[in-house]
């Protein structure tokens, strides 16, 4: 049986079910790391990979890859996703008025935040998406995620894992050198990814255990023009046909500067929703990051002429969560 095509023109745009099923079957990693596996492709990160990544730190420059977590974020309430609400529970005013109950003039400030776990820069955990009621590694979705959370692949299991060699693929600048920004609706292909690697050179090679960051330039556009429909609207992103590339490269994870990782609208003429998610999370076991701010990193990589670095992107160990906010840091 031949592998699914990696050319978007070959997709049957009337049959998302069939196109998804073909790739799920071709690239499924169930059982690869044992029946009890909780990490999926994060298993590709080992001690040797982290030692390799640590050797990439040359200047010591640290760059945060997070968007802001505040009420001015991109969310519009879809599926109850709102922007973070930050509230002070103790303030300097309270301290000045000495109404906090502390002795000898002591005062302080305290605060609380309420937010969906996937409202800004974040990882999608392995319990986030199912394929026909089946979760990662062939488990029944209802046995994995219940009202008590993800009982099997909760994001806490990745808390000490996501430190590896990061590779920036600045596809926006590669394909649109004048603007550095791909148009909304552009489907990034496997050929585009390979061409970007070739253009950027040896430091952009991609292999086992790497975490790939794909810059489309859409985030830069929102900072100039406003959020608009960033959350859920049209966007550049990976084509469904990149599923084979994501599998054979044996990367540990991948993140983009867009809301939904894959191209939107999705590549079908009939109703479809995030088909690449449906292939790669429950079938490949791939950890996906979204809404990363890759602008400062892209500038630094272009200036230095190198595109790999030590990346630390640990999720919060929120027991049973199917995703996590993060502050990824690239060390150059």
Per-residue pLDDT of the chain (332 residues; tens, 9 = 90+): 689 999 999 999 999 999 999 999 999 999 999 999 999 999 999 999 999 999 999 999 999 999 999 999 999 999 999 999 999 999 999 999 999 999 999 999 999 999 999 999 999 999 999 999 999 999 999 999 999 999 999 999 999 999 999 999 999 999 999 999 999 999 999 999 999 999 999 999 999 999 999 999 999 999 999 999 999 999 999 999 999 999 999 999 999 999 999 999 999 999 999 999 999 999 999 999 999 999 999 999 999 999 999 999 999 999 999 999 999 999 99
Question: How far, CA to CA in Å, does 48 sit from each of 135, 158, 205, 246, 252?
Answer: 30, 18, 17, 21, 14
Question: How far, CA to CA in Å, does 146 sit from each of 124, 153, 154, 167?
Answer: 17, 12, 11, 35
Tokens, residue 280: 């790669």
d(CA 327, CA 332): 16
d(CA 298, CA 259): 18
CATH 3.50.30.50 in the chain, residues? 10-78+116-331
- CB–CB of 218/235 below 8 Å? yes
Can you name the CATH fold of 10-78+116-331? Glucose Oxidase; domain 1 (3.50.30)
């Amino acid at each position: 049986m031949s592998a699914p095509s990696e050319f978007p023109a070959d997709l049957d745009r009337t049959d998302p079910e069939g196109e998804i099923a073909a790739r799920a079957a071709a690239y499924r990693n169930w059982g690869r790391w044992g029946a009890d596996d909780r990490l999926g492709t994060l298993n590709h990160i080992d001690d040797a990979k982290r030692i390799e990544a640590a050797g990439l730190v040359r200047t010591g420059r640290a760059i945060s890859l997070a968007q802001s977590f505040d009420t001015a974020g991109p969310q519009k309430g879809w599926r109850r996703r709102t922007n973070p609400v930050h509230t002070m529970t103790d303030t300097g005013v309270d301290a000045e008025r000495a109404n906090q109950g502390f002795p000898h003039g002591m005062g302080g400030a305290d605060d609380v935040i309420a937010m969906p776990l996937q409202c800004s820069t974040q990882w999608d955990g392995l319990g986030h998406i199912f394929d026909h009621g089946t979760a990662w590694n062939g488990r029944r979705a209802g046995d994995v995620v219940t009202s008590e959370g993800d009982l099997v692949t909760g994001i806490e299991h990745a808390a000490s894992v996501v430190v590896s060699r990061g590779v920036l693929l600045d596809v926006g600048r590669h394909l649109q050198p004048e603007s550095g920004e791909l148009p909304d609706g552009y489907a990034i292909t496997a050929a585009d990814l390979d061409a970007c690697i070739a253009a950027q050179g040896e430091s952009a090679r991609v292999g086992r255990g790497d975490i790939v960051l794909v810059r489309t330039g859409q985030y830069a556009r929102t900072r100039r023009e406003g959020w608009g429909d960033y959350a859920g609207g049209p966007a550049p992103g990976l084509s469904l046909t990149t599923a084979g590339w994501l599998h054979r490269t044996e990367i540990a994870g991948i993140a983009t500067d867009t809301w939904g990782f894959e191209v939107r609208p999705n590549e079908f003429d009939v109703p479809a929703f995030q088909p690449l998610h449906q292939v790669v999370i429950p079938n490949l076991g791939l950890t996906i990051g979204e809404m990363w701010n890759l602008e400062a990193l892209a500038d630094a990589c272009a200036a230095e002429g190198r595109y790999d670095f030590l990346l630390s992107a640990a999720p919060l160990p929120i027991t049973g969560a199917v995703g996590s906010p993060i502050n990824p840091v690239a060390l150059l």
